[in-house]
Structure 1
Amino acid sequence: MPELPEVEAVTRKMRAAAPWSEIVATGQFRPTTALDLERAVGRRLEGVTRRGKHILLTLADGPVVRVHLKMTGNLVVIPDVRLRTANVRAWLTLSDGRGIVLEDPRALGRLTYHEGIEGLFDDLGPEPFSAEFTAQHFVAQAQATKKPVKLLLMEQRAVVGLGNIYAAEALFQAGIHPAKPANEISVVRLKRLHGQIVDVLTAALDSAIAAYEQPGGFTEGENFPVAVYGREGEACWRCQAAIRRMPQGGRSTYYCPKCQR
């Protein structure tokens, strides 16, 4: 699914489109795609923000429409809502005729209306680019669990936004095996991983923004130069050992058996 860099790129593109108008109608093709979306009708859209992998459409007087892109979703502003494509699953019609549409070939994305954000994200950790995501915070989170470190990164409590691709890449850059229990990793190595999380997501954000400036579809990590993800059997660019894959938490984890310990 889209990870933080891709979701942030979509958020920035939405803001650049300046869809600041009243919502006059909503629609969806599947009842499971949107929940209570009709309650947004009559409210003006005033902002587009992000929390973790969630996009928030902020409405006048406090309500929000939360958007989760899931595996293949994309949120787009189109000049005429009547021109929506076959892949559009839900939409908001603006008073100026434009539309905010959820394009989603696999129809897994979700839009939900909420009266405010209180309680929505109580289970999420700090943003990786925020002042709250300190090395000390990350070390404390890791030392408090026996979970494999890859699963710690994926659960969104120690830090938000990491998915399968960038968690694997950060662990490779830090030289840490993804199955290593988090509380058995030294403080020095955890601090190195903290820095690599920020560095990897920064580079991935730059590539995602560039990709979303191009027309057509986009997949996560499309322009990001991966070192291990999806490269099973290929040579590690550091040591030439064959990259391996293992199941972990219902997903495939890629790693170098020599560089990561």
Structure 2
Amino acid sequence: MPELPEIYNLAMQLNREITGKKIKELEVRQEKCLNISVSDLRILLTDQIVKACEAKGKWIFVRFESGAYLLLNLGMGGNLLYHSNIKTLPEKYQFRCDFTDNFYLTISFWWFGYIHGVKSGELIFHKMTNTLGLSPFDKAEFTFERFNALLADKRGNIKSFLLDQRNVAGIGNVYIQDILFKAGLHPNRKIPDITPEERVLLHYVIMDYLKSAAELGGLAYEKDIYNKNGLVKEFLVGYREGKECPKCGIPIEKIKAGSTASFICPHCQR
């Protein structure tokens, strides 16, 4: 499943490639991905010019000059590809966008995903994005003060808190493993027991680790809009059960944390 580093890269690439382009035609082969009918989506976006593309959490926001939005979420994974030639279009896809300059965009979901159209002025009513929490890539938004304030009244464990998209948007069960390791926190550590110094470190690690992953193009099994894979192939403790901890050499363990699996060093993350 793509997380913030992958989604951020896709959004930045789209912003570079399709800003200023006008939509000529839309094709939808899987209507259950939509929040409105195919005809309404075409009415909303056909002949509209892209103004900007940005990421928040696991969503890509494509904003148009009309004020309308196309909201994209790759769900459990998928390929969002940009084509300069109609001959490179994949055989199977759920969504296709043709631009007036004969460039194309296709989305092929691995399992499920979302393609939502939102009218001008109605983004605040979109239930799947209007509750998204702080974005680690927004320095003005993801300040330590705001992050710490979110932690202040929470009583659960830190992993569940970070995976809740209403708190911090974009972290999933892949990157959370090494984030907690680098911060020296056990995934089941209760939030009230986390010291002020540990909170400062955690805030820094979240921004730094996700930024480093984005700079590498994201996960090796995820593709960018040019069909190129990312370079993140290995983790410090994530998915390395039985391997030596890079800090102390103790074997990494796989445990259950809430409803998800976690990989930890039992010595460094007590």
The Cα of 1:256 is off from its aligned counterpart by 0.9
Mean Cα deviation higher: 189-198 or 126-135:
126-135
Aligned mates of 1:12, 1:231 — CA distance in 2: 31
Tell me which residue corresponds to 1:11. Answer: 11
Match of 1:252 among 256, 261, 265: 261
Aligned mates of 1:63, 1:213 — CA distance in 2: 25
The Cα of 1:230 is off from its aligned counterpart by 0.7
Mean Cα deviation higher: 109-118 or 210-219:
210-219
Tell me which residue corresponds to 2:29. Answer: 29
Tell me which residue corresponds to 1:67. Answer: 72
User: Unpaired runs of 5+ in structure 2?
Assistant: none
User: Unpaired runs of 5+ in structure 1?
Assistant: none
Aligned mates of 1:40, 1:122 — CA distance in 2: 21
- SS of the aligned residue for 2:168 comes to coil
Tell me which residue corresponds to 1:193. Answer: 202
Tell me which residue corresponds to 1:44. Answer: 49
Identity across the alignment (%): 25
Aligned mates of 1:138, 1:112 — CA distance in 2: 29
Tell me which residue corresponds to 2:119. Answer: 115
- Amino acid in structure 1 at the alignment position of 2:130: D
Mean Cα deviation higher: 197-206 or 76-85:
76-85
The Cα of 1:214 is off from its aligned counterpart by 9.7
Aligned mates of 1:255, 1:29 — CA distance in 2: 42
Deviations 1:16-70 (A, max 9, x none): 3235322122112222123333231232222211122110111121000000011
Aligned mates of 1:107, 1:84 — CA distance in 2: 19
Normalized against structure 2, the TM-score is what? 0.86
Match of 1:127 among 114, 117, 135: 135
**Residues 1:56 and 2:61 aligned together:** yes
Aligned mates of 1:84, 1:110 — CA distance in 2: 20
Aligned mates of 1:192, 1:148 — CA distance in 2: 17
Aligned mates of 2:158, 2:219 — CA distance in 1: 30
Aligned mates of 1:158, 1:26 — CA distance in 2: 34
Deviations 1:148-179 (A, max 9, x none): 10110010233221111222211100111001
- SS of the aligned residue for 2:94 comes to strand
- SS of the aligned residue for 1:164 comes to coil
Normalized against structure 1, the TM-score is what? 0.89
Structural RMSD (CA): 2.3
**Residues 1:144 and 2:156 aligned together:** no
- Amino acid in structure 1 at the alignment position of 2:133: G
Aligned mates of 2:142, 2:190 — CA distance in 1: 21
Query: Do 2:7 and 2:55's aligned partners in 1 also have CA atoms closer than 8 Å?
Result: yes
Query: Do 2:5 and 2:213's aligned partners in 1 also have CA atoms closer than 8 Å?
Result: yes
Tell me which residue corresponds to 2:169. Answer: 160
